[in-house]
Amino acid sequence: MLYKQLRRFLNPLVHTPLHPQWLVACEKQATLNTVKHWARGNTIDVGCGNRWLSEAVTDGSYIGLDYPPTVAQGYPGHPHVFGDAACLPFRDATADTVLLMDVLEHVRFPDLAIREAARILQPNGYLILQVPFIYPVHDAPNDFRRWTREGLRLLLKQPGFNIVDETAYGNPAETSAALGAIALAKSGLNTISQRKISVLLMPLIVILIPLVNVAGWLLGKVLPADTFMPLGYRLVAQKTA
């Protein structure tokens, strides 16, 4: 309950360094731009949440699908359709674009989800996929795995996808800072909920979070680029005819 209350309080600050997930939220626009550039025709958003990606689908129709137990847990979900990513309630070759954005790590059988995406896509249709690589456990117990770039390539190869665009987002400084800020916030929340004496450190934690965020952002701008520890990956794959 305390966590949900704090999350509601912090939500308005998510696009400022005061929020522990600021560096993660900075990727939102890049995600929207990717969807806007590639999505076309009949777009099905698997794991749509509050349908925030619908604003990026400007060339065609949009259908949001979400998993009933996820919405039942209290997450903001406003799907057009309820369903399971591993058994989509759509006919073969009825979609031009499928979105799987920050969803695949929560699916018990990701290979089935990818095959289902391939099944409902028309030939030459696009799958737009985003997953975390270095990120804390979230939405437990429904957080099952993380992928490397090579693991994603292997996952997409068997169902017949050809990767046409690939991005590793979050340089090492940003990734380190994001994890540090989130860890500070979670530790502070634990001290409050468990009534530990370390709650006296909360003022320091509140000060450190924006400092860590800004330091990571600045270092990410000046240090050499590297993709050995990204926050995650964003891929666009085309179904082979």
Question: What is the domain partition of the chain in residue ranges?
Answer: 1-26+172-225, 39-170+230-239
CATH dotted code for 39-170+230-239: 3.40.50.150
Phi, psi of 82 (to 5 degrees): -95, 145
The Cα 52–Cα 145 span in angstroms is 24
- pLDDT per residue over 69-118, tens digit each? 665 455 666 899 999 999 999 999 999 999 999 999 999 999 999 999 99
Q: What is the CA radius of gyration of the chain?
A: 19
pLDDT of residue 127: 98
Predicted confidence (pLDDT) at residue 1 exceeds the cutoff of 70: no
Neighbouring C-beta atoms of residue 223, cutoff 10 Å: 12
Token pair recorded at residue 232: 């995650």
Q: What is the pTM of this model?
A: 0.91
- pLDDT per residue over 28-80, tens digit each? 999 999 999 999 999 999 999 999 999 999 999 999 999 986 654 556 668 99
Averaged pLDDT, 133-150: 94
pLDDT of residue 6: 65
Backbone CA torsion sign across 87, 138, 11, 76: positive
- pLDDT per residue over 187-221, tens digit each? 998 998 888 888 899 999 999 999 999 999 999 99
The Cα 31–Cα 161 span in angstroms is 20
- 3-class secondary-structure state, position 229: coil
Neighbouring C-beta atoms of residue 180, cutoff 10 Å: 19
